[in-house]
Chain A
């Protein structure tokens, strides 16, 4: 390694150390309480729909739809990104994060038209999740099928 490379790699090391997350504990705490609160709110909604007479499957569905709607609504009025700035993964991990990932490019690309703008950019952030999510589910299904074929006794999902 020559002298210039050595200086560079030393610098890269130094930059890496100084850039390391300084607030991991604080960020985790925020993510867990906000994420937990969203999930608790979801549970409350679920109970509310059950109270109104929905069965287990339907109340779960209604809860998801309600949370998606609220996430999109708060994205539209510009509150969601403020909340995510504070809570990080707390807003990202529940279904709200996925809704925001679809709604925000839609708002952003509106000016470029419905086809070349919104239509083309809608899955800008969520696209990879959908692609690899569905691809992996096929792969896992295949593994499950093979395991059953060779006699593994696995419960129905």
Chain B
């Protein structure tokens, strides 16, 4: 289901907040705010994640000289149970709020819905936001933080970061505008992978399906894009993804990148790379937005990938269903 936005919807501003590991990673300099203490002024990991959301919204609004009531809709999600980080973090702003959950594909989903909301004419400006916190995710999905265990090489580290993107179809056009041009909501794909320490492999088929459908629907080839990004497949998942695409006759070249492979250095001992709903949000709101303003890209396709299991379904030996949503950004609107 291809969505083409007919209004000139732009990403007018963005902010990314991150922790110490992310700061010392290759994209650390692109963070708008970084804390060396992963508690972010809070006294628990859950509040820390909520504070991260709060700071990301504050930063994004501040950079645009907006007040909270300049924004009509806040679409936010995270990995904690019941999306508490987003809800608690957004509580103070008084912006109409919709909590989203599509695991690590939440950011792409937020952009997609923000576009639809503005397209409808009912909403002037909308925020898409997504964050995740390593310690909060560890507690919820894996073991206590201080528990001593080894990870398999396929495991990924949940990113401690939050990205906030503001969309609008009004406001003066920037020097290098980032238009939200097309999007495609994904379908749920389950290839029967049950290993939660290998979520890249579980999500790769969903990402491949969305990419193939997207290229089909738009009649484009991978070479037509400056960058094709997947959310958080990691090194190993990205390998599976490329192979699945190649099996279906789509060969991905060096313009393909996975956000999960970009956030940490290989010597940071993160195994297969980064993951989490903050992963693609950080890459887009932190890195891509800043780079784009200097040297605009013609077309960038982001495929947000999410694994939709819970700790309970995994204990019940069910396989991991995955989803991938595509959103495309361009330097020109469609019309």
Contact = CB atoms under 8 A, between A and B. Distances in A.
Interface in A40-97: 75-76, 78, 80-81, 83-85, 88, 91-92, 97
Contacts of A88: 149-150
B144 A105 contact: yes
A64 to B, nearest CB: 18
Given A8-B192, A18-B240, A108-B139, A84 B201 contact: no
B191 A100 contact: no
Interface of B is mostly: loop
Nearest to B47: A111
B44 interface: yes
Nearest to B138: A108
B43 interface: yes
Interface in B246-270: 269
A19 B150 contact: no
Interface in B285-333: none
B243 to A, nearest CB: 8
B148 A21 contact: no
Nearest to A11: B191
Interface residues of B, number: 28
B270 to A, nearest CB: 11
Interface string B140-165: 00011111111111100000000000
A62 to B, nearest CB: 23
B236 interface: yes
B148 A19 contact: no
Interface residues of A, number: 36
Contacts, number: 88
A11 B269 CA distance: 27
A105 B145 CA distance: 8
Contacts of B148: 75, 80-81, 83-85, 91-92, 97, 100, 104
Nearest to B247: A7
A54 B303 CA distance: 66
A9 B193 CA distance: 10
B144 A125 contact: yes
Contacts of A108: 139, 144-146
A15 B146 contact: no
Contacts of A91: 148
Interface in A101-157: 101, 103-105, 107-109, 111, 121, 124-125
Contacts of B239: 18
A125 B269 CA distance: 24
B147 A11 contact: no
Nearest to B244: A11
A23 interface: yes
B198 interface: yes
B198 A15 contact: yes
B147 A105 contact: yes
Nearest to B240: A15
Nearest to B146: A104
A36 to B, nearest CB: 17
Contacts of B192: 8-9, 11-12
Contacts of A83: 148
Nearest to B195: A19
B205 interface: yes
Contacts of B146: 75-76, 78, 80-81, 100, 103-104, 107-108
22 contacts: A8-B191, A11-B244, A15-B198, A15-B240, A18-B154, A18-B236, A19-B201, A22-B153, A75-B146, A75-B148, A76-B146, A78-B146, A81-B149, A84-B148, A84-B150, A88-B149, A97-B148, A100-B148, A103-B146, A107-B145, A121-B144, A124-B144
Ranked 5 nearest A-B pairs via Cβ: A84-B148, A108-B144, A104-B146, A104-B147, A104-B144
Interface of B: 43-44, 139, 143-154, 191-193, 195, 198, 201, 205, 236, 239-240, 243-244, 269
Given A9-B192, A14-B240, A107-B144, 9 more contacts: A8-B192, A11-B192, A78-B146, A81-B145, A81-B149, A84-B148, A104-B143, A108-B145, A108-B146
